[in-house]
Amino acid sequence: MKKFINSVDTVLTETLDGFAAAHSDILVLGEGHKFIRRKELKQGKVALISGGGSGHEPLHGGLVGHGMLDAACPGQVFTSPTPDQMLAAVEAVDTGAGCLFIVKNYEGDVMNFDMAAEMADGVLQ
Protein backbone atom coordinates (compact mmCIF):
# COMPACT_ATOMS: atom_id res chain seq x y z
CA MET A 1 0.00 0.00 0.00
CA LYS A 2 1.37 3.40 -0.98
CA LYS A 3 -1.16 5.82 0.49
CA PHE A 4 -4.37 6.16 2.44
CA ILE A 5 -7.32 7.78 0.69
CA ASN A 6 -10.35 8.84 2.71
CA SER A 7 -12.55 9.40 -0.34
CA VAL A 8 -11.95 9.70 -4.07
CA ASP A 9 -14.12 12.84 -4.01
CA THR A 10 -11.82 14.65 -1.57
CA VAL A 11 -8.41 13.17 -2.36
CA LEU A 12 -7.14 16.25 -4.25
CA THR A 13 -8.24 18.86 -1.70
CA GLU A 14 -6.99 16.78 1.23
CA THR A 15 -3.65 16.19 -0.49
CA LEU A 16 -3.23 19.90 -1.23
CA ASP A 17 -4.19 20.87 2.33
CA GLY A 18 -1.61 18.48 3.75
CA PHE A 19 1.10 19.51 1.30
CA ALA A 20 0.53 23.22 1.97
CA ALA A 21 0.50 22.65 5.73
CA ALA A 22 3.70 20.59 5.63
CA HIS A 23 5.50 23.29 3.63
CA SER A 24 3.81 26.42 4.95
CA ASP A 25 7.21 28.12 5.26
CA ILE A 26 7.50 28.35 1.44
CA LEU A 27 4.03 27.57 -0.04
CA VAL A 28 0.56 29.06 -0.07
CA LEU A 29 -2.55 27.28 -1.28
CA GLY A 30 -4.52 29.30 -3.83
CA GLU A 31 -8.17 30.17 -3.41
CA GLY A 32 -10.48 27.24 -4.06
CA HIS A 33 -7.56 24.77 -4.19
CA LYS A 34 -6.88 25.91 -7.76
CA PHE A 35 -3.10 26.12 -7.39
CA ILE A 36 -0.13 26.11 -5.05
CA ARG A 37 2.22 29.07 -5.21
CA ARG A 38 5.41 30.35 -3.65
CA LYS A 39 4.75 32.26 -0.45
CA GLU A 40 7.19 35.03 -1.37
CA LEU A 41 7.27 36.32 -4.92
CA LYS A 42 10.15 38.26 -6.43
CA GLN A 43 9.02 41.50 -8.04
CA GLY A 44 9.96 41.90 -11.70
CA LYS A 45 10.68 38.17 -12.22
CA VAL A 46 9.01 36.19 -14.99
CA ALA A 47 6.70 33.80 -13.14
CA LEU A 48 7.02 30.09 -13.96
CA ILE A 49 3.81 28.04 -13.89
CA SER A 50 3.27 24.36 -14.61
CA GLY A 51 0.78 21.70 -13.67
CA GLY A 52 -0.93 18.53 -14.66
CA GLY A 53 -3.09 15.72 -13.43
CA SER A 54 -2.80 14.56 -9.86
CA GLY A 55 -1.79 11.04 -8.98
CA HIS A 56 1.95 11.50 -9.44
CA GLU A 57 2.59 13.68 -6.39
CA PRO A 58 4.68 15.51 -5.55
CA LEU A 59 5.43 15.99 -9.26
CA HIS A 60 4.11 19.50 -9.89
CA GLY A 61 3.60 20.97 -6.44
CA GLY A 62 6.95 19.56 -5.36
CA LEU A 63 8.68 21.80 -7.88
CA VAL A 64 7.29 25.03 -6.39
CA GLY A 65 9.80 26.94 -4.32
CA HIS A 66 12.90 29.09 -4.30
CA GLY A 67 14.63 29.01 -7.70
CA MET A 68 11.94 26.75 -9.14
CA LEU A 69 8.27 27.13 -10.14
CA ASP A 70 6.24 30.05 -8.83
CA ALA A 71 2.97 28.09 -9.08
CA ALA A 72 1.63 24.66 -9.95
CA CYS A 73 -1.94 23.87 -10.98
CA PRO A 74 -3.13 20.39 -10.00
CA GLY A 75 -5.84 18.72 -12.04
CA GLN A 76 -7.99 15.94 -10.69
CA VAL A 77 -6.42 12.47 -10.70
CA PHE A 78 -4.92 11.88 -14.17
CA THR A 79 -6.82 14.89 -15.55
CA SER A 80 -5.37 18.17 -16.80
CA PRO A 81 -5.96 21.32 -14.76
CA THR A 82 -8.55 23.68 -16.20
CA PRO A 83 -7.72 26.95 -17.94
CA ASP A 84 -9.52 28.80 -15.13
CA GLN A 85 -7.09 27.30 -12.60
CA MET A 86 -4.14 28.43 -14.67
CA LEU A 87 -5.57 31.92 -15.11
CA ALA A 88 -6.05 32.19 -11.33
CA ALA A 89 -2.40 31.18 -10.87
CA VAL A 90 -1.28 33.80 -13.41
CA GLU A 91 -3.20 36.49 -11.57
CA ALA A 92 -1.69 35.40 -8.25
CA VAL A 93 1.97 35.20 -9.26
CA ASP A 94 2.44 37.76 -12.04
CA THR A 95 4.67 40.51 -10.62
CA GLY A 96 4.84 42.59 -13.77
CA ALA A 97 7.31 40.69 -15.94
CA GLY A 98 4.81 38.17 -17.34
CA CYS A 99 4.40 34.44 -16.95
CA LEU A 100 5.86 31.41 -18.68
CA PHE A 101 3.84 28.21 -18.83
CA ILE A 102 5.89 25.02 -18.67
CA VAL A 103 3.81 22.38 -20.41
CA LYS A 104 4.50 18.69 -20.80
CA ASN A 105 3.57 16.88 -24.00
CA TYR A 106 0.20 15.52 -22.81
CA GLU A 107 -2.53 16.65 -25.23
CA GLY A 108 -4.94 17.69 -22.47
CA ASP A 109 -2.29 19.85 -20.81
CA VAL A 110 -1.26 21.38 -24.15
CA MET A 111 -4.87 22.25 -25.01
CA ASN A 112 -5.78 23.69 -21.59
CA PHE A 113 -2.55 25.65 -21.14
CA ASP A 114 -3.01 27.06 -24.65
CA MET A 115 -6.53 28.24 -23.75
CA ALA A 116 -5.23 29.72 -20.51
CA ALA A 117 -2.50 31.60 -22.40
CA GLU A 118 -5.15 33.12 -24.67
CA MET A 119 -7.28 34.06 -21.65
CA ALA A 120 -4.27 35.55 -19.84
CA ASP A 121 -3.30 37.65 -22.86
CA GLY A 122 -5.84 40.26 -21.77
CA VAL A 123 -4.81 40.02 -18.12
CA LEU A 124 -1.04 40.44 -18.33
CA GLN A 125 0.26 43.96 -18.81
Look at residue 106 and tell me whether its pLDDT is greater than 90.
Answer: no
Over 60: is that where the pLDDT of 31 sits? yes
Q: What number is the average pLDDT over the span 83-106?
A: 93
Q: For residue 91, is it within any domain?
A: yes
Residue 83 located in a structural domain: yes
Tell me the Ramachandran region of residue 100: left when phi exceeds 0, alpha when psi lies from -120 to 50, beta otherwise. Answer: beta
Instruction: With respect to residue 25, please indicate whether it lies within any of the assigned structural domains.
Output: no
Residues paired with residue 74 on neighbouring β-strands, in sequence order? 52
Q: How far apart are CA 108 and CA 71, in angstroms?
A: 19
Residues above pLDDT 90, as percent of the chain? 62
CATH of the domain at 60: 3.40.50.10440
Is 2 a member of any domain? no
What pLDDT band is residue 82 in, cutting at 50, 70 and 90? very high
DSSP code, position 33: G
**Mean pLDDT, the chain, integer:** 89
Query: Per the domain annotation, does 47 fall within a domain?
Result: yes
Does residue 125 have a pLDDT over 80? no
**What is the total count of domains within the chain?**
1
The range of the structural domain enclosing residue 70 comes to 30-120
